[in-house]
Structure 1
Amino acid sequence: MLASLQRWINDMTAQSSAAEPPSLALATAALLCEVMRADYRLEPAELEALREELRQRFGLEEEALSELMELAQQETEASVDHHRFVRLIRDECDPESRIELVRAMWALAYADGHKDALEEHRIRRLAELLHVSHADFVRTRHEEQQRAAGESS
């Protein structure tokens, strides 16, 4: 039994090291999907907000955009953790870009009309991992909350 467990661990390690590193677009989309999934509800407004954010951020055509969203959702459902995505964004993006990503996370959290405590917790954790300051975390939350309130008025 121990031998079969060791073989399984070796197979999993070989598969994960053989996989090519994710692109910046996939890493971004996967972290945004993490926020959408945090409250265990996938709302159409959140999917549309994700689609628009990725379209604006990466300038993708509709087919490529759909593929990216599908792949990101598959990655977040299959991944044990999201550290490889966080690490890529932390290494490749400047502080302002990481703050803008946190702002996009808040926009997704408010896309369905309300922010869930689970979404806030997930964004807080991701912001910490992305080395976004608490002040920027709070400021982007407040700005997106105000924007969402203005749209619903």
Structure 2
Amino acid sequence: MLDAIQQFFHQTLADPTTTPDRTLTLELATAALLCEVIRADYHTGDAELAALKDMLSHRYHLSEEAVQELMDLAEQEVEAAVDHYQFVSLIKEHYGYDDRAELVRLMWELAYADDDLDPLEEHRIRRLADLLYVSHRDFIRAKLHVRSQ
């Protein structure tokens, strides 16, 4: 993952049992993967940023400060290499299948936030869905559901 984001999350994810709210730790890992979707096409538009901020603050109950810090770190490291293992493994370990499929649906929401699905965004979501062990059928179902909204 991006070096700065990895460092940001490492403090929280290193020992989730010491974090007062374990759910928050898992949601931070989820937020990292969602950031990867908006960065996939090397163009982060205002609509995508607004959708991501809304998801992070409302769906995952992150403070405005935490959301802004995450977004700032992501913007600073746009060109960096990606390593999803730490976040994917945490999510796979603690999220059931339905929660992982819902995460893929959220990824599609971000990809369609600017009304332009880039092939790089689709590729990134497909790769993450595979790593999260979400079936191809549910991957497509989520895409069609979001596209029809």
On the 8 A contact 1:76/1:82 being kept in 2, the answer is: no
Q: Does 1:39 align with 2:46?
A: no
State the TM-score, normalized to the length of structure 1: 0.76
Question: Which residue is 2:89 aligned to?
Answer: 87
Question: Which residues of structure 1 form unaligned runs of 5+?
Answer: 1-15, 148-153
Counterparts of 1:110 and 1:80 in 2: how far apart (Å)? Answer: 22
Q: Is the 8 A contact 2:32 2:87 kept in 1?
A: yes
Report what 1:127 is aligned to: 129
After superposition, the CA RMSD in angstroms is 2.1
Distance 1:63 1:111, change over 3 A: same
Q: CA deviation at 1:79?
A: 5.2
Match status 1:49 vs 2:51: yes
Kindly state the Cα deviation for residue 91 of structure 1 after the two structures are TM-superposed.
0.8
- The percentage of aligned residue pairs carrying the same residue is 56
More helix per residue: 1
Q: Give the total of aligned pairs.
A: 130
Aligned-partner Cα distance in 1 for 2:92–2:30: 11
Q: Secondary structure at the residue paired with 1:96?
A: helix
Q: 1:74 to 1:31 in 2, by over 3 A?
A: farther
Q: Is residue 2:101 matched to residue 1:105?
A: no
- The alpha carbon displacement at 1:56 in A equals 2.1
Q: Could you tell me the TM-score, scaled by structure 2's length?
A: 0.77
Question: SS of the counterpart of 1:89?
Answer: helix
